[in-house]
Amino acid sequence: MMTLSEIKQSHRLTYQYFSECQHGERWLQRIVELDQYWEQIGKRSTTQVVFSSDALPKNVRINGHFDLIYAGSTLGTIHAAAMAAIYKKSVLLFDKHTPAKTHRDWNISKQELLALAQIGLLTEKEIESAITKKYQTGFVEFASTEPPTRLYLEHVLDCAIDSDTILRHCLEKMEGEKNLVLGKTTFNRCFQCDDGIVVEVTSDDGRLEYYKAKVMMDAMGILSPIALELNNGKPQTHICPTVGTVASGLLDVDYDIGEILVSTEPEEYTATGARQLIWEGFPASNTEMITYLFFYDRIDSNNDKSLLNLFETYFQKLPTYKRPGADFKLHKPVFGIIPAYHHNGMGKTRETAADRILLLGDAATLSSPLTFCGFGSMVRNLARTTKQLNTLLDEGRCTKSDLERVSAYEENVAIMSNLMKFMCFEKDSDPPNFVNDLMNVIMKVLKDLPPRYGVSLFRDEMALSDFNTLILTVAKKYPKIFEITFRKLGVSGSLSWIQNWLGWLTAPKEK
């Protein structure tokens, strides 16, 4: 395991700030762990972790039987709590780290968050207790040689959530004899049987243990070995490496305004590629600010995507976005590889289930490839996915074709992967300042349209008619977009966009 002292020379600023922050060493380990993703992705052969019952070692002792086993306890915690508390299913939830503790902080609107109360999972009081700050308004702004177009958006990502508080409340809903929560427990492999699935884990003390359930829920995030196996080594088509901090002592901050997407400079050329760096800044309280730096990218680009290296860039560039004052203090780093998938067809083309296995959250990679709101996607789809899963469990229907219908796939969200491709700067074909210039055009168009267009776009709630109007208005005001689209997406990419569109057009209204 890498230690902080080992990065003292190579990542000077990261070393300095992490050394001053609580649990800096532990955060570094998590970053290094996530960076392993780049080594495992795109390989022809993947490690097999899903086996049939024939491969189950003889005479294993089953430690416990459950309706559902959840591997991974970030979004897994929310789903598991709903299945346990609302549908009274018995649940085992385990995580290789501490359950219900995460290295992200979420933003969402109150209206969206209330879905957790509407389905009877959390009380409004519990929800309120997780909101650390509400800001008055937020904006999107991209760098420009002319005065940039600032688009203000109301009720978009305007509540900062302490993710651990939401998860703790969910964990409390699972208290009871029927359920079990295990930390420091690592998924190894699973065995599909006729009457259930056996999951092999390594426990805290290094022992192999076996648990059985009707269905296993894979909520292991971007590192899910099951997603890797089911999708032949390519579980994502695009990603968004993201790093940032929750910090106090930043200057130039208005604690009542959220900065939803902001760029301050043209694309950055590096030794291997080029990328358009984008900032986000959300007040986390009246004294603390969350700032993120990220870029959109193809999974197979030459860009350096290491989170550790991006952290060094973040600390180098932070003063160009928000200046750290004399009392700057890093309270917690936040980071992740946010996954995206382009569905090349009229519907969901990614594998998100197998017999007795269902993927959710980042393991399923069905949240918006443009806004990356994985928590938002979970909240928005929780009522539907838990109800459908409950019905399947009660009816004993747990095959791949049964389970894959239970998903957070939304046609209006999936189509955004076509727009996301415009956010990935391509060194060989894009003119300088391409992303910024295009985004300024789109912000101008959104500014001229009624506010609901911008709001629904950034909340992943866009209606088909509004999407059509948006695209047609951009095309009218900026005819060059046809040439750009063709250059960026090519024939197959353009056709794929049309397929996504047709899929949305023909999708059933009620799922």
Binding site for ligand FAD (CB under 6 A): 71-76, 95-97, 102, 104, 106-108, 186-187, 219-223, 242, 244, 292, 334-336, 338, 361-363, 367, 372-376
CB of 313 to ligand FAD, least distance (A): 15
Q: Could you please report the per-residue DSSP string of 101-137?
A: --S--EEE-HHHHTHHHHTTSS-HHHHHHHEEEE-SE
Nearer to ligand FAD, 81 or 373 (CB): 373
Nearest to 46 by CA among 225, 201, 202: 225
3-state secondary structure 185-208: CEEEEEEEECCEEEEEEECCCCCE
Nearer to ligand FAD, 209 or 362 (CB): 362
CB of 371 to ligand FAD, least distance (A): 8
| 195 backbone φψ class: left, alpha, beta (φ>0; ψ -120 to 50) | alpha
Nearer to ligand FAD, 166 or 471 (CB): 166
- Cα–Cα separations (whole angstroms), residue 292 to 288, 315, 374: 13, 11, 16
Structure tokens at 336: 């992740």
Nearer to ligand FAD, 220 or 253 (CB): 220
Structure tokens at 276: 């358009």
CB of 446 to ligand FAD, least distance (A): 20
Tally of CA atoms within 13 A in the half-sphere of 169 that contains its CB: 19
- CB-based contact 192:48 (threshold 8 Å): no
Structure tokens at 302: 């030459």
Structure tokens at 26: 């532990």
Nearer to ligand FAD, 15 or 372 (CB): 372
CB of 230 to ligand FAD, least distance (A): 15
Nearer to ligand FAD, 324 or 361 (CB): 361
CB of 88 to ligand FAD, least distance (A): 23
Nearest to 338 by CA among 207, 259, 242: 242
Nearer to ligand FAD, 246 or 445 (CB): 246
DSSP 3-state of 222: helix
Nearer to ligand FAD, 73 or 418 (CB): 73
- CB-based contact 315:256 (threshold 8 Å): no
CB of 438 to ligand FAD, least distance (A): 24
Name residue, tokens 């957790």: 116
181 forms beta bridges with: 93
Closest residue to ligand FAD in the complex (CB): 374
CB of 105 to ligand FAD, least distance (A): 7
CB of 202 to ligand FAD, least distance (A): 9
